[in-house]
Amino acid sequence: MAKVNKSISVIFPAYNEEANIGVLIDRTIPVLDENTDRWEIIVVDDGSSDRTQEIVKRYGNKHLSLIHHPYNRGYGAAVTSGIASAKNDLIFFSDSDLQFDIRELGKLLQWIDQYDIVIGYRQKRCDPFFRRLNAFGWNALVRFLFGLKVKDINCAFKIFNRPVFEKISIDAAGAMINTDILAQAAKYEFTVKEVPVTHYPRLKGKQTGAKIQVILKAFNELFHLYRKLKNTASPS
């Protein structure tokens, strides 16, 4: 695939990912060099208590920046901080846990000139049964409330043309951020393309998405978003 004629900002939210973040950066740099002439990587350290921040600082790469939250604000807040800092034409975000293959970024870029948003969906989700069950129920609820027809709402492998984030306003600070973005995108009639991507089991570090406080926060944000969209006029 030829390089895209657009610049790319890559955002990696990270919470206690010292075992993964260096590997992820090392894998990402050549992929970006292959796909574009203009890029940046933004790592958002969301209040980690391990060496995540220290490892990122070692790189000294002018195209790599670090945002540090002094305390853990939540996944959505980390992504939002990255988006606010992003300078380029395209904004991509993914997790820092190595459960996605950054080399598949090219699969999304193939469509980015034809759609406002290109999102991955996991062909085979390699998470524990309980997380997959939660995801099934969550997707069903979100489809019911917002009419979203997306296969895999929380798949953390998404790329956006910048005008999307010039239009929508993100409120979710936790796991609701993907629903927040996609529900608003549908409201404003942005076009979306779904692309299958590979998913791997987490081998190092700990997952936090199944914690009860994370789930309760997501439901609180869910109903806040529902009220917000219900009170927002549709575009003419």
CATH assignment of the domain containing 217: 3.90.550.10
Q: Tell me whether residue 1 is in a domain.
A: no
Q: Tell me whether residue 110 is in a domain.
A: yes
Q: Quick one: pLDDT at residue 220?
A: 77
Q: How many structural domains does the chain have?
A: 1
Q: Quick one: pLDDT at residue 132?
A: 66
Q: Tell me whether residue 24 is in a domain.
A: yes
Burial of 118 (0-12, 13-18, 19+ CB in 10 A): buried
Q: Higher pLDDT residue, 204 or 112?
A: 112
The percent of residues in the chain predicted with pLDDT above 90, rounded, is 65
Task: For residue 190, give its domain range.
Answer: 8-230
Q: Report the range of poorest mean pLDDT among 110-114, 117-121, 225-229.
A: 225-229
Single-letter amino acid code for the residue at 45: D
**What's the mean per-residue pLDDT of the chain?**
89
Tokens matching residue 34: 């292959």
Task: Indicate if the pLDDT at residue 6 is higher than 60.
Answer: yes
Q: Higher pLDDT residue, 7 or 132?
A: 7
Give Cα 115 distance to the centre of its chain. 17
Give Cα 81 distance to the centre of its chain. 12
Q: Tell me whether residue 3 is in a domain.
A: no
Q: Higher pLDDT residue, 70 or 217?
A: 70
Task: Indicate if the pLDDT at residue 58 is higher than 70.
Answer: yes
C-alpha to C-alpha distance for 7 and 57, rounded to whole angstroms: 23
Give Cα 14 distance to the centre of its chain. 11
In this structure, are residues 226 and 151 in contact, taking their beta carbons and an 8 Å threshold? no
Task: Indicate if the pLDDT at residue 230 is higher than 80.
Answer: no
First to last CA, the chain: 38
Q: Tell me whether residue 62 is in a domain.
A: yes
Q: Report the range of poorest mean pLDDT among 9-23, 158-172, 182-196, 213-227.
A: 213-227
Q: Tell me whether residue 172 is in a domain.
A: yes
State the average pLDDT over residues 108-130.
87
Q: Quick one: pLDDT at residue 128?
A: 64
HSE-up of residue 98 (Cα within 13 Å, Cβ side): 17
Q: Tell me whether residue 198 is in a domain.
A: yes
- pLDDT band with cut points at 50, 70 and 90 for residue 232: low
Task: Indicate if the pLDDT at residue 19 is higher than 90.
Answer: yes
State the average pLDDT over residues 39-56.
97
C-alpha to C-alpha distance for 21 and 24, rounded to whole angstroms: 5
Ramachandran category for residue 73: left, alpha or beta (phi over 0 → left; psi -120 to 50 → alpha): alpha
Q: Tell me whether residue 236 is in a domain.
A: no
Q: Quick one: pLDDT at residue 226?
A: 73
The DSSP string of 125-157 is --S-HHHHHHHHHHHHHHHHHH----S-TT-SE
Task: Indicate if the pLDDT at residue 210 is higher than 60.
Answer: no
